[in-house]
Structure 1
Amino acid sequence: MENKEHQKEKIVSFLPTGDYYYEKAIKALEKEQIDKAYKYLKRAEELSPDDVRVLTQYGLLEIEAQNYEHAYELIHTAYSLEPSNSEIVFLLADVSGCLGLMRDAKKYAEQYLAQEPDGIYALDAYEILDFVEYEENIAEDVDEQDAEKLIGQEKARRFMEQGDFQKAIEVLEQLIEKFPDAWPAYNNLSLAYFYIGEAEQAHALLKHVLRENHGNLHALCNLAVFAYYERQEEELKGLMALLKKIQPYEWENRYKLGATLALIGEYETAYKWLRSMHKRGYEGDPGFYYWLAQSAYFSKQEDIAKAAWQALLALDPSKEGLEPWHTQSLATEEHSLEKNRELIIEKINSSYTSDRLFGFFMLKHSPHKQEIVAHPKWIDIEQYNEVEKLCLAYALGHEFQMETASEKSFVRFLQVAEKLFAVYGDLSFTAASALQLWFSIGEIALRANYAFKNPVAIAAAIDYMLQSALGENITKKQCAENYCVGVATLTKYMNELLTFVPTEAE
């Protein structure tokens, strides 16, 4: 028991803090490594949501990236924590102007000048006031209620992206209580409820929207997504027929309709709407390019699909390897178990830790990763132990810093699995058997604080142990050569691993 508690403490101890990621972001900015800085600040904000330094710096990067809604939410949160901070006041004026919130832009620019009449941003503040005066003569201002709705929606969206659906629900429920006709908030609230498994409540919210705001496209799309995930074929068929008749004018509605149709497999109609936006110069977020690439590829528009995927990778390099043409080729390989969605779901919901670890590893390499992660019931993080949570983080692309002995041991543990996967080339039955054996032995070794000093040799030892057990005609020399290690090294690690072979169910 003490050993288990000690291991848990060591695992938890190398989970970095928000301050840790903030310092790494600052160092990255000093080296002009903007992508790294953005990633570190995103993580810092998740861990320290009330750190004014993090919020301000993150907001600055979002302004530069023209993600003004999120920048406004970040900087407004920082302002609520330090309302007298003149730099934050100026940034709030700046981003308000970018969003067309002219009253806010004017108010905060004047507040900054009152605080810092000769400050470093004084000339910029006067320019904002001149801009507001000009815009007031030619454009309709967004009132304070719209600004409040925008802040609430953005905050809820960020919580949902982080998987914190309960906090998103709190924000959205407060929003609709104050603004009973805020239909986008109802739609997002229904998604949040669906993702925590409250399907009945999610459906009730959408039905309320459709009663009060007849024909609301986002509500209809969400109902179609729910029917798709719940395998309600007849309901989905009816909703599909309705959605394919809709002719949306606004880009927001075209995007929602196109993404929904692509998700449920109506690629040609999805492509029509998403491509219509792309032709007219729409520059979307990663999600837009993802669904454009998917719908284009399966509509036999491969050049458009590849161009869209390049645009996606420029915004989100982690999508490398998940190209629709790559996943399509996997689907033709009957022996590639990483494409078997049902098997992965079965493994990550197993009662055995080793099965769940194997399931997360398959998830990392699966073309179904996005669908499985998005489903409200297939992953229940509250039921996983610390090692399982770390393996899930690894599957989702988290980068470990390798700065402690425990972290190095954990990463090497996974490197053994990656080596086995690389040698076999895909998750064939034999490869899956080797990995299942590894996660059974390796999980015990991890709890015993084993160092996993030579992952390649350990992978060779596991492979040899499996093939010997299966009665395959293979020698240690042949197996060692497959992994470019010596026979003596293979034998050494095989003997070490034998001490961790499970002898009874735990």
Structure 2
Amino acid sequence: MEEDHLKAEDLQHKVIPIHMNANFFFERAVRSLDRFRYDKALKYFRKAVEYEPENPVNHCNMAGILSEMGDYEGSNAVLFDILEHVDASMTECYFYMANNFANMENFEEAERMLVKYLEEDPEGQFLEEAEEMMELFQSELERPPVKVNRIRSREGVMEHEQARALMEEGKFAQAAELLEQIVQEQPDFLAARNNLALAYYYMGLFRKAKATIAEVLELEEGNVHGLCNLAIFYQHEGDTISLNPLLRMLEVLVPFHREHVFKLATTMGILGKHEAAYRHFRRLLKDSELNGDPSLHHFTAVAAFNSGRFREAGQCWRKLQKLDPASDIPGFYLDQLERFDLTGKQGYELSYHYHLPFEEQLKRWEKDESGLCEEVKTNPMIRSSFFWALRYGDKATKLQVIRALGWIADEEVKETLETFLKEPDEPAELKNEALRVLAEMGLEDTSQAILEASAASSSSMVAETQLAYTYQGGDTLQAVVDQALLHMDETAGREQKKHLQNLWYQFLGKLYPDKPIIRHTEGWSAALEYLTSKQHGGSVTYQEVAQRYGISPSTVSRYAKRIDSVCSLKEEKDDMFCPFTENV
């Protein structure tokens, strides 16, 4: 008897107790699925739900089994219950329900569920599948798909594309406003930050542009778009000390993604590193998905030409002729290439813009104004180049642009010219021409008021700055202007001399209450003359100005860059090629 009791006791110690919980039934359900025993799997998943009714995953598993067994209505009932009573954030349930309705051939309801999924799901786990299903429903229902108000998982992406389109149309202020909103809502959206920096750059807000790029590089040190944009900004400022090491790094960079290769290629072109630009563009041409793009062949041709590879440039333009036979661009450049004296023109560089040179376009449009309007309607880059030229071109180009804008004469032209009238440093001749164009558009009174207010504001700023410095070494500061006026080129008119004085007081006003240390009056005076001449379309060099003042060209350059860094002058551009915007 005692022996039997011991055996029973030993047996009790050897029995392993079974803990019935959700995991226990989940594991058995999975084993049943592996054996394709859906009925048993469903039973075990239901038991798991009983043990953990708050766990939405168990419910989803049950809905999935019902769907596999062909009980689509039962599956949807579980999915509806999850969203209403268990976890409303399980937005993927809408996608599962769309599949169930599609299997029941209820495509109207399937489409409705899919739209709910796209509009409410933050992760976008099934985004590609959902888009494919929308195409299927369009075919089945024989009508266009229902409009999706927003794709939540792509929030900011659509707005970013809209901002990029605005920039390509030259609407930089509108693009900046949209991009600022995107960045505020999504601080890690680096593509939006990069394009915001470019929008600021095009608007002339160079300090804000640099600050925005600094934020990009703080978030991602090796961001290719950010580094390229920073290099362009350094070049604009003439900051060679910062530019050169960055340029050396970019020259040896070999990006993997094609978008980064393209950005780097265009940046190298802007910075005058045409050998590197050619190398990257050639690499892109080897990509079968890209080598049918006409603009890429033009960019490669320009990089080849600018690096002295004239034969390769001709080959690219001839290929372009076949790809885009309706375009005048390849024929124009091939004709120029035939006439070109290749022996003595090594320093001559072409613009990378994929359209005819600005001067050539104006010649053609002067003969056919309707052609201009049609070009502007169909090619937003043409309009963008107009606004870029009005902001950064030399005096002669700006005059041509103002007259050309008069042929277009739409609401955006009106806003652009009225903004131009507010610029304090633009010559009176150009402002009068802008007034004439606006008068022809029936806006003379408003524009004249803008011009007068701008002039009063400019005069007030100069007077206040002069007063501020009266008791702070004013004699020395005034001597800079006096010496510049004394040495100034005889061809300089009254308007140019007045501009020189305003530039100096603008420089002092932006520094106030600080003031520059004047140890080298001739250097500051020569720099003022050089910058003013450039602003008025002059072809003066550092060497020529330096000779008149008895100083070195490097001294003129140093002081000119100092003034420019404070005043953010609109430097003369040999071409109007803008840095390319960044995709997502």
Which category of TM-score, normalised to the shorter sequence, fits these structures?
Answer: 0.3 to 0.5
Higher relative contact order (CA 8 A, sep 6+): 2
Q: Which has the larger Rg?
A: 2
